[in-house]
Structure 1
Amino acid sequence: MDRRGRELFEVGQTRVTKLQAHDAILQTPAHDQSSSPEEADLHVPRGPYQIEPDLGVAREPRRVSLLSWRPKRGRLLIAALGIGLGLGAVEEAVRLGGHGAKLERLARVMGFGIDQVTLTGHHFSFDRDVFDALDLTNVRTFAALDTAAVKSRIERLPWVDNAELTRVYPGELQIRVTERKPYAIWQRTDRHYLIDKTGRVLAAIGGDALPNLPRFAGEGAAAEAATLIENLARYPEIAGRLSEAERVSERRWKLKLANATTIELPPDGEVGALEELSRDAALVRLVTAGSTTLDFRGPGRVAIRPEAPAAAAGPAAPNTGS
């Protein structure tokens, strides 16, 4: 073989050798050079929170197969979804079909009967009113329970602001109510009512009950009470002395203070009248002195009328000469 042939043979041999070495590298599994043979056998990942195995004790390797775990989890989800869809189908069939009694009996056998009702969150609402809203005499299973309708009926009760219904299988219905907060007392004719901030009537009460709550009177006063209180909050010299706010003709306010001062506000621009009063030092002194009526109903002017003290409204006391 001449020199050129020998060179071609050597070059070809070198290329084959390199290709074989490259294939061997690709087929060899990568491993961490810093890992010991024991760690490689145990397949223990190394990391900042990894507990080092006791290499002096022989143990079987612990392997968790994700392929064997995921189908189990998937089967549970599918089963839960199937139960939910089945229950929903039963509910629709009960409400829309003509086989309610048979389907309800089937639902009770399957564990969907309402065997226990738990009621929490109520202080002023009566249990019997909530149970009447449930209509338990006719609704004995979850299949026959119209959750939206029951929730609406419960929230129509005077004290109830919000109701949450939770089904706990098998057989328990949990009801949690949030009640409204008393805000003021509203006098209508000769009756007194406790109202919340929206003007909703919560209960009838005695006229002398809850003296620390603001008092309102007149038709339409309950619905506008919160707005007036918010406006008066900026004028403490008036708000701190307010005894009663009367709604006149459902259009305007008459403020009665505890010191026999009366403030007649106009139908429109009541905030402007209060601003004018608070900026005028002489008017503020009249308010604090008491026994005065300040009438802001006239455009651009204030009518001031002194009022006799309440104690002097009766017969005049005899003159003793002292």
Structure 2
Amino acid sequence: MLALKSGNGRGVRGAMPSLFGLSLSAEHFVLPRLLRKPVRILSRVGRGEFTPPPYAASMLTVSFLAASSLYGAYVGGHFPALVQGVTARSGFAVDQIKVSGNRETSEIDILDKLQLDGWTSLVGFDPEEARERIVALPWVRSAAVRKVYPGTMEVRIEEREAFAIWQNGNQLSVIEKSGAVIAPYTGGRQAMLPLVVGFGAAERAADFVAKVDAYPELAARVKGYMRVGERRWDLRLDNGITVKLPENGVDAALTDLVALDRDDALLTRDISAVDMRFTDRLVVQLTPEAMERRQAELKAKPKVVKSTAGKRI
């Protein structure tokens, strides 16, 4: 309440308070309670009745120097560092870091992106800038950094999901389903991922691998998916056989291939390639060893016929 009405007939005790000769009271006005004491002190100073406490000059000097230092630190851009130093030594230094959600990203890399030292304070630490640095790591899709006072920092990340290893020339990279490169291939647990080879294979691999996965008995034997001329695919099996699929009608070709292997054990024979690019015929290429044996058999066959003919005569 900023004003109070005085009661009728109430007298004013003593002299009216004044500040530098100006009256601060009126017949129907009283200052708020919080302002009364400061105003009385100022009025005493104006009348020359105020005696400063001991060491007042020293205290004012120290206050002026402190204010000047703070202003200089602010103007010079050193104020955040000053706040960090003061608050860190006041019990707000980061002494515990909790990291969750990381499988491929090492905690050392995450701690490096936090840019902490022994006296980093939570008070002046910017979690958004730290989050942006962590998201820049190859495997990190999203990140959240949270301050828990007085001295704990929590980091939670979501990593990108590896789909395959992409070989482009001599370079091996781990890719997502979309074909986006995550990081260079370094071995380890990524060795179990499917291998896709060739220019343009990364962007189209997900759909083609899904078609092959529809035939589990065939998919279990595939070691590589090779993109040829950005038009069609070849399959490289675990026994070294290459299956050349057509540009169109891939689903039908895969169905025929599985049926031939189930009925005639085609993919376990001594062959090096199965060419399914032609709609009217299936071409099978023998291995060099099988070719030599076949040629030897063909050379031996006329001799057997000639020998039999001699006996009949």
TM-score (norm 2): 0.53
Relative distance call for 1:103 and 1:281 in structure 2 (3 A) is closer
Q: Which residue of 2 aligns with 1:45?
A: none
Find the aligned partners of 2:281 and 2:266 in 1 and give their Cα distance: 16
Count matched residues.
Answer: 221
Matched, 1:273 2:250: yes
Q: For 2:139, which of 143, 156, 159 is the aligned residue?
A: 159
Q: Which residue of 2 aligns with 1:204?
A: 185
Q: For 1:147, which of 112, 122, 127 is the aligned residue?
A: 127
Aligned identity (percent) is: 29
Q: Superposition pairs for residues 23-34 of structure 1, below 5 Å?
A: none
Amino acid at match of 1:309: T
Q: For 2:212, which of 219, 224, 232 is the aligned residue?
A: 232
**Match of 1:245, SS?**
strand
Q: Which residue of 1 aligns with 2:305?
A: none
Q: Which residue of 2 aligns with 1:245?
A: 225
What are the Cα deviations for residues 10-31 of structure 1, in whole angstroms up to 9, with x where unaligned?
Answer: xxxxxxxxxxxxxxxxxxxxxx
Amino acid at match of 1:214: P
Q: For 2:283, which of 286, 305, 316 is the aligned residue?
A: 305
Relative distance call for 1:252 and 1:113 in structure 2 (3 A) is farther
Instruction: Report the Cα offset of residue 230 of structure 1.
Output: 1.8
Find the aligned partners of 1:249 and 1:143 in 2 and give their Cα distance: 58
Find the aligned partners of 1:123 and 1:280 in 2 and give their Cα distance: 39
Tell me if structure 1 keeps the 8 A contact 2:234–2:242: no
Find the aligned partners of 2:80 and 2:118 in 1 and give their Cα distance: 11
Tell me if structure 2 keeps the 8 A contact 1:111–1:169: no
RMSD value, Cα:
4.5
Q: Superposition pairs for residues 2-41 of structure 1, below 5 Å?
A: none
Relative distance call for 1:280 and 1:174 in structure 2 (3 A) is closer
Matched, 1:262 2:239: no
Matched, 1:294 2:275: yes
Find the aligned partners of 2:280 and 2:125 in 1 and give their Cα distance: 62
Find the aligned partners of 2:99 and 2:276 in 1 and give their Cα distance: 52
Tell me if structure 1 keeps the 8 A contact 2:122–2:149: no
Find the aligned partners of 2:210 and 2:103 in 1 and give their Cα distance: 28
Find the aligned partners of 2:108 and 2:218 in 1 and give their Cα distance: 44
Tell me if structure 2 keeps the 8 A contact 1:277–1:283: no
**Match of 2:185, SS?**
strand
Relative distance call for 1:282 and 1:129 in structure 2 (3 A) is closer
TM-score (norm 1): 0.52
Find the aligned partners of 1:314 and 1:151 in 2 and give their Cα distance: 65
**Match of 1:307, SS?**
strand
Instruction: Report the Cα offset of residue 118 of structure 1.
Output: 2.8
Q: Which residue of 1 aligns with 2:195?
A: 215
Find the aligned partners of 1:147 and 1:232 in 2 and give their Cα distance: 45
Amino acid at match of 1:256: R
Relative distance call for 1:216 and 1:238 in structure 2 (3 A) is same
Relative distance call for 1:103 and 1:265 in structure 2 (3 A) is farther
**Match of 2:206, SS?**
helix
Amino acid at match of 1:258: D
What are the Cα deviations for residues 119-171 of structure 1, in whole angstroms up to 9, with x where unaligned?
Answer: 34434433331122112259933354333332233233233344332211002
Q: Unaligned regions of 5+ residues in structure 1, if any? A: 1-93
Instruction: Report the Cα offset of residue 115 of structure 1.
Output: 3.5
